Structure 1
């Protein structure tokens, strides 16, 4: 009996330990940084009690909390931000902010709240933002009355059937009220009376089944500056009624996107006459008919969005929009655009007409747009195969600075094609079908041009004079244009003394001269990737390596990726002291010379991935690695031996640099012992331990070799050594060589003999 009791108590203790242990240590799982605690995604059922007392921000979202009350927050009186969204909270206790009086932002979206106690926010006097979206709320009484400083209130995606949040005046400092995606069917006169002393910047009623606007429904708001009614089935009649209700209000921003407004009549917007409406969004309405003079009531309008409609532009469509500065017509036009259609828009600065189909640009299409700065015709099917000096003549009096003609199927640019656009700074002709020799006259008259985008065209042949008329150019993009021959003298880039960005990548360039970039002292970015420059840097090249990178003192970004490089001259990067990013990836590099990167002490990013590098030694990579912030050297066949990789392995384990794929792509290839293992885990301690033995080996080997040399010398040359030694000793003892006198001999030979006994 006693034994069973002991077992039962032991089992109970173990179970209690497993139950309470997580609760006691949950705070340790949170990420704490700079007085901010992130406890999200931890499957917590309550707020941890062991967090630092001085935290000002707590994220407890994406957990399993079921309630939230002042008792849970007792320890954290300094909280300014609390995110309890994405939980299962169904109830808020009164005086929620009693112990967190400094709280300014409270997020409770995506919970299961269905009602709010009357005094739940009574102590939240400093609250400026409250998010209650995606709950099941149905507001009664006056739960927000105490929120004197609230600026943003989100009640979207709830079960509200009325916009009335209280009968008493409240929320005087509210700027944004979000009521979208509720069940509001009508707006009564008294619904917004609680905002009678409020200046509301944005009221969002989108995605509600609104059927009726009662007279005076918006006039009870102190000042209504912005109204969003997207995805509400208004049609022309309700839109007209809405505009009538907005008359004599402070409305400045009105969004009516996707409201099934297919027709706009002359009187549709009449109710907005006299207002200061500056922004109107009519996008995604399948608009097919807009009567002439329909916008005459909107004399203060500055921004008009008509994208994704089906509009025919007549000569009086935009009549009355004398203050308009921005017009968005993306994917919205059909049929011919009549001449002088835009001439009413005296102050228009931005005209975006992308993704449209119309017959072409007529002689007076853009006449009157004297203040236009930006024109985009991207991806327009407008029969613009050949650009002549008449194509944009209607913009001759404009101040156009940016012209976007990408994807317009241009095949030819004639001489002086843009000569009427003297103020132009950016010209985008990319992604077209241009195939011609650039003589330079195509850009004549563009004295202020700074950027030319010509990338992704069929075939552009450059001459020495190709850019002679645009010396102010700063950015030149020539990616994948087929200009494979740049061995020109003088270089086509010589006139471009202000150039900072040059892209001539993807052109299969194989032959260039050493002076190609001479004079480009201001060049910051040079992109040469995906060419065929390998031969130029070979020592076997008939005239030696072509050092085309000299004279670029300010170069910061250099891309030489995918050029087939298998050899790099030691002096190729000399003088590039400002280089920050160097990409040599996807080449065939193996052994690099020792002093290659000596001038790149300020290098931040180096890419050598997908080469044939086996050894990463300090004498080569030491200087650039000191300042490196990002390294990409994966997918190389590393030789994991002490001589080749020990220093690199140590550096990888100590550096703070960003190294993508460090634990998966930096793999040893040789020797077989380490094949397939990570370079990061290479044990360099064995290399360091063997250092004394290496020295001993060198000394002992030297002694043995010296001994062998002496023995062999004595064996083969001993008699000679003995002879000279005797001479040396006798001379030191004072003996001299016997002086021979002239003698006469009776015999011609002297024979010495002896008898063997």
Structure 2
């Protein structure tokens, strides 16, 4: 029986080793140091000066990044006929033989990122002409300019992806991409492109994605790429975006013109498939309320193909010419909108994500005639709002999950505004002067309070800086709050949290407990993150020691010590992150600090800013002088040390007393006898 068990064990170990060998991809190393996994050779950072010739002839991927391969000759790849992926990033490559790809299987993917191609670009362009199967090409970071472009791509008809990022291209014309009729994705970000000739991309009939971010384009006029699906124009200097005026259907799905200088809402194609429109960080606004739209127009003079064309555009209402019913995501944050036209948002019937933050809106309408019922995300923060319109008793925002109204001027909100938002999970009302309703609130006397009770879907609530006192215990009754921020308020106690104590996981009470003492957190058994910083707390709440907190923020208080005496206390065992700076810790009572710093699982991000007090001098706990440590050892010696220190003094006094007694013994005795002498009876 023992023999059978032994053989079973051997078979199991063999199977395990065989499985690990297969899972590891038969990993081994070549004489040149390349790591071989299956049919992939990893030859990075080996200081190679040429393509290694000691690899298996059937490899399919060769990664020679970050070496010193400066040239590629005819025989470099002759040994590897099945190679389809070659990466030569960061190699100072500047020369490539004309026949480098002639006798190979012609790689499908080639990365030449971060080399010196510009030095002998004509030779490299001639070599690329023989790579007739190339589908993916990366020429980024090679100091390529617009004159070099025309030499690279005449024969690359199979190319589908082209990366020209981080070069020095300044303008594009019709000859820039001739021959790339199968190109699907083109990236030109982080160049210096300030001009694109009309018709530059017309021959790229299969182009789906175009990235022109981080350039110097001043405008886009007569946009006519009907097959394009994704266009990134972010971080340019664009003031106008004007598409071609015709009934041709555009395939455009995502358009990003964020971080530009747009003055007007872009003039989009009439027929398109846009689902995402990103226009944040521009200078847009609507003007029909301020000017006569019948006389406010601009004439565009479009020059191209030796012809001129004048197009008149009405600036105030042309956005309505485009069908926005399929738009799902709209970001127009950080602009200058002071109002939205009545037919602007209602036209976006499929809208689910809307960002309007950091604008100049003073009022906003949440009624069904203004907002689609499909909305799930709405950000209206920092928009100078002083009024929110809302139709009661019903609401169309039953799918809304995220609502941000923070950093506005709201003092009044409809009392039941949130009661019908059945899916509302995150609500941010920070920095608005509002009040919350409770059971004892009189309906007649407190019309301005906001009722947050019985919103069962509400989990994340931020009420920072609302001037709240929160002395009622039932303001969150019926909610399922797990994350609550009531920082920068004036709390009299934390009794208002009794109904939510068992559910709360993250709680922020920053700068809100100046007059609160003896805080009891014993009921917050689910709490994992607590912020009680900036509160001038003098005594660490001992109720925290039994909680399983993962993150604790104590910075900027007046704590002198923390009652941590063992690394096995529940708080120490669960803690991952703690903030402790700007307190008044005693330099001679830092045993708790030693326990925290010796724990490998606890991170103290502000450890360099933690100081302690020794004789009214504050110093870094990481750099305590030896003299201070020595003095603290004597000071913390306890009763035994005090007894040892006082014993010599006591002995000295005792000896002195005995000597004095002996010195004055005889005179004192005689005087005593003389004073009390009496006759004796016989």
Residues 573 and 597 of structure 1 are in contact (CA less than 8 Å); yes or no, is this contact kept in structure 2? no
Cα deviation for residue 628 of structure 1 reads: 0.7
Superposed, which structure 2 residues align to 1:364-383 within 5 Å? 365=320, 368-383=323-338
CA distance in 1, matches of 2:321, 2:243: 21
Cα deviation for residue 277 of structure 1 reads: 3.4
3-state DSSP of counterpart to 1:185? helix
> What's the counterpart of residue 300 of structure 2?
none
Cα deviation for residue 529 of structure 1 reads: 1.3
> What's the counterpart of residue 608 of structure 1?
554
Residues 612 and 618 of structure 2 are in contact (CA less than 8 Å); yes or no, is this contact kept in structure 1? yes
The alignment status of 1:204 with 2:164, answered yes or no, reads: yes
Cα deviation for residue 458 of structure 1 reads: 1.8
Two-structure CA RMSD over aligned residues (Å): 5.0
CA distance in 2, matches of 1:366, 1:518: 48
1:551 to 500, 505, 512: 500
3-state DSSP of counterpart to 1:227? strand
3-state DSSP of counterpart to 2:64? strand
Cα deviation for residue 695 of structure 1 reads: 14
The alignment status of 1:580 with 2:525, answered yes or no, reads: no
Q: Which moved more, 1:603-612 or 1:461-470?
A: 461-470
Cα deviation for residue 499 of structure 1 reads: 0.5
3-state DSSP of counterpart to 1:668? strand
2:609 to 648, 662, 665: 665
Residues 372 and 399 of structure 1 are in contact (CA less than 8 Å); yes or no, is this contact kept in structure 2? yes
1:525 to 472, 483, 487: 483
1:494 to 443, 449, 453: 453
> What's the counterpart of residue 130 of structure 1?
87
Residues 401 and 425 of structure 1 are in contact (CA less than 8 Å); yes or no, is this contact kept in structure 2? yes
CA distance in 2, matches of 1:432, 1:131: 50
3-state DSSP of counterpart to 1:176? strand
Cα deviation for residue 606 of structure 1 reads: 0.8
CA distance in 2, matches of 1:636, 1:314: 53
Distance 1:170 1:653, change over 3 A: same
Distance 1:377 1:637, change over 3 A: same
Superposed, which structure 2 residues align to 1:217-232 within 5 Å? 217-218=178-179, 223-228=182-187, 231=191
> What's the counterpart of residue 649 of structure 1?
594
Cα deviation for residue 323 of structure 1 reads: 3.1
CA distance in 2, matches of 1:375, 1:204: 29
3-state DSSP of counterpart to 1:649? helix
> What's the counterpart of residue 20 of structure 2?
none
2:583 to 623, 636, 641: 636
Cα deviation for residue 525 of structure 1 reads: 0.9
Cα deviation for residue 280 of structure 1 reads: 3.9
The alignment status of 1:410 with 2:366, answered yes or no, reads: no
CA distance in 1, matches of 2:681, 2:432: 103
CA distance in 2, matches of 1:675, 1:259: 51
The alignment status of 1:474 with 2:429, answered yes or no, reads: no
> What's the counterpart of residue 154 of structure 1?
112
> What's the counterpart of residue 595 of structure 1?
543
Superposed, which structure 2 residues align to 1:343-362 within 5 Å? none
Cα deviation for residue 367 of structure 1 reads: 8.2
CA distance in 1, matches of 2:537, 2:476: 24
Cα deviation for residue 286 of structure 1 reads: 4.6
Cα deviation for residue 168 of structure 1 reads: 6.8
Residues 209 and 230 of structure 2 are in contact (CA less than 8 Å); yes or no, is this contact kept in structure 1? yes
3-state DSSP of counterpart to 1:625? helix
Cα deviation for residue 626 of structure 1 reads: 1.0
Residues 520-569 of structure 1, C-alpha deviation per residue, up to 9 Å, x if partnerless?
2x212101112222x326xxxxxxxx353443422111111112446444
Distance 1:153 1:383, change over 3 A: same
> What's the counterpart of residue 98 of structure 1?
54
Distance 1:176 1:410, change over 3 A: same
3-state DSSP of counterpart to 1:626? helix
List runs of 5+ in structure 1 lacking aligned partners.
Answer: 1-53, 58-69, 340-357, 538-545, 698-754
Residues 269-302 of structure 1, C-alpha deviation per residue, up to 9 Å, x if partnerless?
4xx67xx4323456647575847526x5563333
Superposed, which structure 2 residues align to 1:692-703 within 5 Å? none
Residues 459 and 482 of structure 2 are in contact (CA less than 8 Å); yes or no, is this contact kept in structure 1? yes
> What's the counterpart of residue 182 of structure 1?
144
Cα deviation for residue 377 of structure 1 reads: 3.2
Residues 136 and 158 of structure 1 are in contact (CA less than 8 Å); yes or no, is this contact kept in structure 2? yes
Distance 1:409 1:322, change over 3 A: closer
Cα deviation for residue 587 of structure 1 reads: 1.4
Residues 251 and 277 of structure 1 are in contact (CA less than 8 Å); yes or no, is this contact kept in structure 2? yes
Residues 705-728 of structure 1, C-alpha deviation per residue, up to 9 Å, x if partnerless?
xxxxxxxxxxxxxxxxxxxxxxxx
Distance 1:486 1:372, change over 3 A: same
Residues 554 and 578 of structure 1 are in contact (CA less than 8 Å); yes or no, is this contact kept in structure 2? yes
Residues 616-652 of structure 1, C-alpha deviation per residue, up to 9 Å, x if partnerless?
22379932111111111223222244xx432442342
Residues 472 and 498 of structure 1 are in contact (CA less than 8 Å); yes or no, is this contact kept in structure 2? yes
Residues 474 and 500 of structure 1 are in contact (CA less than 8 Å); yes or no, is this contact kept in structure 2? yes
Cα deviation for residue 517 of structure 1 reads: 2.1
CA distance in 1, matches of 2:539, 2:237: 63
Distance 1:208 1:495, change over 3 A: same
Question: Taking CA–CA contacts closer than 8 Å with sequence separation of 6 or more, which of the two structures ends up with the larger relative contact order?
Answer: 2
3-state DSSP of counterpart to 2:590? helix
> What's the counterpart of residue 245 of structure 2?
293
> What's the counterpart of residue 209 of structure 2?
253
Residues 502 and 523 of structure 1 are in contact (CA less than 8 Å); yes or no, is this contact kept in structure 2? yes
TM-score, normalization by structure 1: 0.62
Cα deviation for residue 394 of structure 1 reads: 6.0
CA distance in 1, matches of 2:284, 2:413: 37
List runs of 5+ in structure 2 lacking aligned partners.
Answer: 1-25, 295-313, 442-449, 645-679
Cα deviation for residue 614 of structure 1 reads: 1.3
Distance 1:448 1:614, change over 3 A: same
The alignment status of 1:139 with 2:99, answered yes or no, reads: no
Residues 341-390 of structure 1, C-alpha deviation per residue, up to 9 Å, x if partnerless?
xxxxxxxxxxxxxxxxx99789x948853333233332343432xx8xx8
Residues 467 and 489 of structure 2 are in contact (CA less than 8 Å); yes or no, is this contact kept in structure 1? yes
Q: Which moved more, 1:201-210 or 1:645-654?
A: 201-210
Residues 116-156 of structure 1, C-alpha deviation per residue, up to 9 Å, x if partnerless?
34434556776845244584614332345658656341255
CA distance in 1, matches of 2:345, 2:388: 27
- Higher Cα radius of gyration: 1
CA distance in 2, matches of 1:675, 1:211: 61
CA distance in 1, matches of 2:160, 2:253: 20
> What's the counterpart of residue 744 of structure 1?
none
